[in-house]
């Protein structure tokens, strides 16, 4: 009897200490920081070595999620959305359909395909199509485990350019933003897809932000953008705790995921709302604006917080550097507008003209120490770069490229 009890205790302890493998939007912590070491500090003239290219990804602007043995991405082929799984050599293992893809109308028809990044937790992959079909797939074989349609099942309202949210999984919940009046924001059970809670939030329409959860001693706070507000909800109940109004001008994209660091919440918003630092109450119930810097518009390229500085690209083709204590601009680098990530004391900027720059941010002024031109692929250069196990992944439309960052 005692042997059985000891075995049960062993399995309980093992399950509690098991490290989950997580791959998702902008890295494990959704902040654009990749914990890689031993990478090239400068690049040769032609850029890092191309290991392989996969050119059957279909239409899409979503990034990839890379685990220890697979690569996952969304793509649209013949108007159908697919989740695709590749091995680390760039060979297709399987692809699973996820309903009609996003094709758009008028101006938005210029940006068809998938706009989101898969979220991988161990053997489960969570994806949203551009038309709002959320599905969970088995990572080993692509078998669909459950699905919920945000438009039909949850009565959502499709945003311009479709749904682009990269799903957030926290514990046993998957959070999504249908944007309708019946189910404005929703939490689903990640194992079954069943509704856990629904919230009116502010009854504002959904935008293209991928949320975060702030884990405070008193509660977990779900933070995301609607079209007109940054807002925080109780992650367990969906109760609206606070909001921060955005000024809407010509554009309505609020696509940049906020970053929480050392008790403060940072965001960079479109429409000229600038970069903002907020303090959040210990119990998560309220926020206070600490500073705001009306830096040039950055609607979709992400930002970074490294040490005591915030880095953000702009539509005026600059990488701006702000002091996070004061919000003052301390440096800038002339560089084409683009998506930024960081690893091993370098910033990687994938610009909208297909150029990738390696930037040394420890120098003053900032210095470009490597460049690469992306020649493969289709349509716009919008996907965020990803780094995993010394490999840089760049997705450009129907092409995914892998570059070695090691000697």
The yes-or-no verdict on residue 323 having pLDDT over 70 is: yes
The mean pLDDT value for 219-224 works out to 98
The mean pLDDT value for 39-43 works out to 98
Q: How many CB atoms lie within 10 A of CB 204?
A: 19
> Taking CA 117 as the corner, what is the angle to CA 113 and CA 123, rounded to the nearest 5 degrees?
125
The yes-or-no verdict on residue 400 having pLDDT over 50 is: yes
Q: How many CB atoms lie within 10 A of CB 297?
A: 21
217, exposed or middle or buried, with CB in 10 Å at 0-12, 13-18, 19+?
exposed
Do residues 277 and 328 lie in contact, with contact meaning Cβ atoms separated by under 8 Å?
Answer: no
pTM for this structure?
0.94
CA 346 to chain centre: 20
Predicted pLDDT of residue 2: 52
The yes-or-no verdict on residue 365 having pLDDT over 80 is: yes
Name 45's Cβ contacts closer than 8 Å, sequence gap at least 6: none
Do residues 359 and 366 lie in contact, with contact meaning Cβ atoms separated by under 8 Å?
Answer: yes
Least reliable range by pLDDT among 8-12, 109-113, 210-214, 401-405: 8-12
What's the pLDDT band for 8 if we cut at 50, 70, 90?
very low
What is the rounded CA–CA span in Å between residue 253 and residue 208?
7
Helix or strand or coil: residue 108? helix
Q: How many CB atoms lie within 10 A of CB 139?
A: 24
The yes-or-no verdict on residue 346 having pLDDT over 80 is: yes
| Strand spans (E) along 226-281 | 229-234, 240-245, 259-261, 264-269, 274-280
The mean predicted confidence, pLDDT, of the chain is 93
Query: Which two three-digit tokens encode residue 211?
Result: 């949320």
Closest Cα partner for 55 from 101, 79, 100, 86? 86
Predicted pLDDT of residue 5: 46
| pLDDT tens figures, 274-315 | 899 999 999 999 999 999 998 877 878 889 999 999 999 988
Do residues 129 and 137 lie in contact, with contact meaning Cβ atoms separated by under 8 Å?
Answer: no
Predicted pLDDT of residue 252: 59
How much is the CA Rg of the chain, to the nearest whole Å? Answer: 21
Domains along the sequence of the chain with CATH: 46-59+301-407 (2.40.128.630)
How far lies 159's CA from each of 129, 156, 166, 226, 309, in Å?
A: 13, 9, 14, 10, 33
DSSP 280-330: E-TTSS-EEEEEEE-PSP-SSS-EEEETTEEEEE-TTSEEEEEETTT--EE
Q: Kindly compute the dihedral angle of the four CA atoms of residues 368, 373, 378, 381, in this order, to the nearest 10 degrees.
A: 0
Q: State which H helix or E strand residue 81 sits in.
A: strand 80-86
């Amino acid at each position: 009897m005692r042997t059985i009890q000891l075995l049960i205790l062993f399995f309980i302890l093992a399950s509690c200490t098991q490290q989950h493998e997580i791959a998702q939007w902008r890295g494990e912590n959704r902040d654009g920081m990749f914990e890689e070491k031993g990478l090239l500090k400068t690049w040769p003239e032609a850029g890092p070595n191309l290991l392989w290219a996969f050119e059957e990804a279909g239409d899409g602007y979503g990034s990839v999620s890379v685990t220890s043995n697979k690569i996952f991405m969304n793509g649209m082929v013949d108007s159908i959305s697919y989740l695709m799984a590749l091995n680390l050599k760039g060979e297709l293992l399987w692809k699973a359909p996820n309903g009609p893809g996003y094709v758009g109308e008028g101006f938005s028809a210029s940006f068809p395909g998938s706009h989101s990044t898969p979220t991988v937790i161990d053997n489960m992959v969570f994806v949203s199509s551009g038309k709002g079909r959320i599905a969970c797939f088995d990572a080993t074989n692509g078998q669909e485990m459950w699905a919920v349609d945000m438009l039909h099942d949850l009565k959502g309202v499709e945003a311009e350019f479709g749904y682009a949210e990269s799903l957030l999984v926290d514990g046993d919940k998957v959070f999504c933003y249908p944007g309708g009046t019946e189910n404005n924001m929703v939490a689903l059970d990640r194992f079954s897809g069943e509704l856990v809670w629904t919230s009116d939030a502010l009854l504002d329409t959904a935008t293209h932000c991928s949320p975060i959860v702030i884990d405070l001693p008193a509660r977990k706070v779900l933070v995301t953008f609607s079209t007109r507000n940054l807002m925080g909800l109780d992650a367990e109940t969906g109760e609206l705790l606070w909001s921060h109004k955005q000024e809407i001008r010509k554009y309505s994209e609020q696509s940049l995921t906020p970053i929480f660091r050392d008790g403060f919440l940072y965001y960079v918003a479109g429409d000229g709302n600038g970069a903002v630092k907020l303090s959040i109450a210990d119990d998560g119930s309220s926020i206070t604006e600490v500073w705001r810097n009306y830096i040039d518009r950055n609607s979709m390229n992400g930002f970074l917080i490294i040490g005591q500085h915030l880095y953000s690209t702009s539509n005026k083709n600059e990488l701006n550097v702000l002091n996070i204590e004061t919000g003052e601009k301390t440096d800038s680098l002339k560089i084409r507008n683009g998506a930024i990530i960081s690893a091993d004391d370098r910033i990687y900027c994938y610009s909208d003209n297909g150029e990738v720059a390696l930037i040394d941010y420890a120098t003053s002024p900032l210095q470009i120490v490597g460049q690469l031109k992306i020649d493969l692929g289709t349509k716009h250069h919008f996907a965020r770069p990803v780094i995993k196990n010394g490999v840089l992944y760049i997705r450009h439309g129907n092409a995914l490229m892998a570059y070695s960052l090691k000697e």
